Amino acid sequence: MPHASAAGAAQPGVPVMPERCDFTVFGGTGNLALGKLLPALYQSDLEGHLPDDTRIIGVSLADLDDDAYRATVHDALLEHVGDLDDDTAERLLGRLHHVRLDIQDGSDWHRLYGVLKDRPHVDATVRVYYLAVAPTLFGPICRGLDEGGMTAAPARVVLEKPIGHDLASARAINAVVGEVFDEAQIFRIDHYLGKESVQNLLVTRFANTLLEPLWNSHWIDHVQITVAETVGVGERVGYYEQAGALRDMVQNHLLQLLCLVAMEPPIEVGREDVRDEKLKVLQALKPMTPAEIDRDTVRGRYGSGLVEGRQVSSYDEEVGLETPSLAPHEGYSTSEVSLTETFVALKVEVQNWRWAGVPFYLRTGKRMDRRSSEIVIVFKEPPHDVFPHRTGVTAPNRLHIQVQPDEGMRLHLTAKEPGPGGYRLKPVSLDLNFASAFSQRSPDAYERLLMDVVKGNPTLFMRRDEVEAAWAWCAPIIEHWAETGLPPKRYAAGSAGPTTAITLIERDGRSWQEDHL
Ligand code: BG6
């Protein structure tokens, strides 16, 4: 495979792959590193996208030498990648080092400084620091790196979500990281932006002329965005009980999807243009009043049930909560009740010229009946019915964008069923399945994003103002839910969520579109 940087001369402003990279992962033995980051680096190495002169330095509290860390990573690759290419695996493992470091202990840091300085051409090396740790450690890590003189550009720092718990904590994290790194050096990951189908949304909208004239309140009735998961909270109980679905999924992934649907065309898909346009959408989200929050949001929490043929426990059992099955007004004091939601549905408005009056219905939940992330654009009915005596069924046109699994698109149209005897109408669809349209493997989101960090391309990362605007919009909802103290509605695992989420959309004369590709 040719080296990525060998492909064509560098153009001004276009990020290029550096010759040398030290990729340091704080939390190097954690689930994210072993389950996602190292498999992504393996795939990049396999495809020839990793600079030849790359070292990967895992930092953790574990007492591992380089060989023991290599063995741990090898096992993780076997588990998460499956069949390994022997040469690539050997090369990747050869790049690995492990540094045992207690971030809070100043006397430990010399070990990491030593490894980072211990390489030829140290000054010409791009240093990437991936913080796959709790956000409370972001500040101490940045300060530790700064004290060792390890932060000068082209060093880059990658922040995993959650970036804060609310607006104030997000601002505090951004401030502490910003004391050490310039904004241009900070890469805040939202892995949804690395998904091929999400990037394809930009291409569908802005590399085709067909849709743009229709992409507004004149022709679109409403938009639905669903991210349904079959998994529960699993081992992340501690984090999740403090977070809930709004913080975990809506503040970041769903609002980012909404931004890509709603944004104006950027001047180009370059450094700042896309982020500028997404920020404008976040700023145009209508803040909700307490009465609107009561009316336009639904929270749920899964009970036990059957998911994909398997009986699973309730959230309360997983978390070890003694949660009553009755709501507070039925005799329970709210202080005994966890308020964490595993499902949320919302009706959202984007207050600008293009979207005035077009509701965006968002929903996300764990332990749902299926795993599916999808965006459905529902168009308006034709302005005049020229088939008043038709028979059969009609439905508004819909563009169904399947983000995962089975990425693709389906455009629902109305057609005449063949045969004599008047107009018998029937919904039909134009289908595009990416797996059959393209023979290439669809890379995992992290593969694309990690290589963008190494190249220094920030387009698919969240800027500070975006993260803070998203939190600012979520803040009144979080506060109002806490004030009312009502626990989320119960839904059976393996269902489509609480029935009130169905009412949320049906009271507007619309319904969730459940068709799958
Ligand atoms: C993460 C959330 O950001 O995204 C998880 O913290 C969630 O709770 C995950 O399960 C979903 O990602 P994906 O790529 O599996 O849809």
Identical fold, 20-160 and 193-385+447-506: no
* Tens digit of each residue's pLDDT (9 = 90 or more) over 119-165: 887 888 999 999 999 989 999 999 999 999 999 999 999 999 889 99
pLDDT of 13 reads 61
Cβ atoms within 10 Å of 119's Cβ, excluding its own: 12
Q: How far, in Å, from the CA of 412 to the mean position of ligand 1?
A: 29
Residue 320 has pLDDT above 70, yes or no: yes
Look at 15 and 104; give whichever has higher pLDDT. 104
Residue 68 to residue 66: CA distance in whole angstroms = 6
Q: How far is CA 159 from the centre of its chain?
A: 13
Q: Which helix (H) or strand (E) holds 399?
A: strand 398-404
**Architecture (CATH level 2) of domain 20-160:** 3-Layer(aba) Sandwich (3.40)
Secondary structure letter of residue 224 according to DSSP = E
* Ligand 1 mean position, distance from CA 463 (Å): 20
Q: Ligand 1 center to residue 32 CA distance, Å?
A: 11
Would you say residue 81 has pLDDT above 90?
yes
Strand partners, 302: 491
Average pLDDT, the chain: 91
CA-proximal residue: ligand 1, atom 4 (nearest): 249
* DSSP 8-class letter at 154: T
The residues, ordered by sequence, that sit 6+ positions from 411 with a Cβ below 8 Å of its Cβ are: 397, 398, 399, 400, 429, 430
Q: What is the mean pLDDT of residues 23-47?
A: 97
Q: How far apart are CA 40 and CA 158, in angstroms?
A: 15
Q: What residues flank ligand 1, with Cβ below 6 Å?
A: 161, 191, 229, 231, 248, 373
Which tokens is 265 given? 């065309």
The residue written with tokens 């107009």 in the block is 423
pLDDT band at 322 (very low <50, low <70, confident <90, very high): low
Atom of ligand 1 nearest to the CA of 236: 8
Name the pLDDT band for 270 (thresholds 50, 70, 90): confident
Q: What percent of the chain has pLDDT over 90?
A: 80
The pTM assigned to this predicted structure is 0.92
- Condensed to tens digits (0 to 9), the pLDDT of residues 433-466 reads 887 888 778 888 999 999 999 999 999 999 999 9
CA 120 to each of CA 31, 456, 482: distance values in angstroms, whole numbers, following the listed order: 31, 22, 55
The whole-number pLDDT of residue 114 equals 95
Ligand 1 atom closest to 233 (CA): 8
Atom of ligand 1 nearest to the CA of 371: 16
Angle between helix 255-262 and 273-284 (nearest 10): 110
Residue whose CA is closest, atom 15 of ligand 1? 229
Q: How far is the CA of 388 from the centre of ligand 1 (A)?
A: 47
What mean pLDDT is predicted for residues 400-428? 92
Whether the pLDDT of residue 70 is over 70: the answer is yes
Residue 485: how many other CB atoms lie within 10 Å: 12
Do the beta carbons of residue 28 and residue 98 sit within 8 Å? yes
pLDDT range class, residue 410, cuts 50, 70, 90: very high
Q: Which runs of E-coded beta strand occur in 434-475?
A: none
* Shortest-distance Cα residue to atom 5 of ligand 1: 248
Residue 432 pLDDT greater than 90, yes or no:
no
Q: Distance between terminal CA atoms of the chain? A: 35
The full set of domain ranges for the chain reads: 20-160, 193-385+447-506
Instruction: pLDDT band for 229, please (50, 70, 90 cuts).
Output: very high
Q: Which of 160, 229, 256 has most ligand 1 atoms within 8 Å of its beta carbon, as the pocket-test mutant?
A: 229
CB 367 within 8 A of CB 345: no
445 Cα nearest atom in ligand 1: 14
Helix (H), strand (E) at residue 401? strand 398-404
389 noted as active-site residue = no
Q: Which atom of ligand 1 is nearest to the CA of 373?
A: 16
Q: How confident is the model at residue 373 (pLDDT cuts 50, 70, 90)?
A: very high
Spatial contact of 475 and 167, defined as CB atoms under 8 Å apart:
yes
Of the listed 253, 329, 412, 480, which one is catalytic? Answer: 253
Task: Name the residue of 31, 253, 442, 446 to mutate for ligand 1: max ligand atoms within 8 A of Cβ.
Answer: 253
Mean pLDDT of 221-225: 98
Mean pLDDT of 190-194: 95
Beta bridge partners of 285: 350
CATH number of the 193-385+447-506 domain: 3.30.360.10
Atom of ligand 1 nearest to the CA of 195: 14
Q: Rounded to the nearest whole angstrom, what is the distance from the C-alpha of residue 83 to the centroid of ligand 1?
A: 25
- The percent of residues above 70 in pLDDT, for the chain, comes to 94
**Identity of the amino acid at 186:** I
Provide the pLDDT confidence category of residue 12 given band limits of 50, 70 and 90. low
| Contact by Cβ (8 Å): 60, 96 | no
Q: What residue owns the CA closest to ligand 1's atom 8?
A: 248
pLDDT digits 0-9 by tens, 156-184:
999 998 899 999 999 999 999 999 999 99
Contact 192, 230 (CB under 8 A): no
Kindly state the average pLDDT of the residues 294-307: 97
Task: Say which DSSP state 191 is in.
Answer: G
Between the CA of 169 and the centroid of ligand 1 the distance, in Å, is 21
For the chain, the C-alpha Rg in angstroms (whole number) is: 25
* pLDDT (0 to 100) of residue 363: 98
C-alpha 167 chain-centroid distance: 19
Taking the centre of ligand 1 as the mean of its atom positions, its distance from the CA of residue 13, in whole angstroms, is 32
pLDDT score of 47: 94
Residue 23, SS3?
strand
Q: Which residues pair with 96 in a beta bridge?
A: 56
Residue bearing the CA closest to ligand 1, atom 6:
248
Length of the chain: 517
Give the mean pLDDT of 289-295. Answer: 97
DSSP state letter for 195: S
**Alpha-helical regions (H) of 207-339:** 237-243, 245, 255-262, 273-284, 290-296, 315-319
Q: Residue 80 corresponds to which amino acid?
A: H
